[in-house]
Amino acid sequence: MVVMMMLAMICVQMVMVARPLIVTILALLG
């Protein structure tokens, strides 16, 4: 169960970090 929580936290951090990058890429492409 602890492993699942750790993976969930990692996924959340990845999304938080990737979102601005995705927005920037879309802005450059758009």
The rounded distance, in Å, linking the Cα atoms of 30 and 4 is 37
The pLDDT of residue 25 is: 93
Q: In angstroms, what is the C-alpha Rg of the chain?
A: 13
Closest CA to 11 of 25, 3, 27, 22: 3
Give me the amino acid identity at 6: M
pTM for this structure?
Answer: 0.53
Give me the amino acid identity at 5: M
pLDDT digits (tens, 9 = 90+) for 6-28: 999 999 999 999 999 999 999 99
CB half-sphere exposure, 26, CA atoms < 13 A: 6
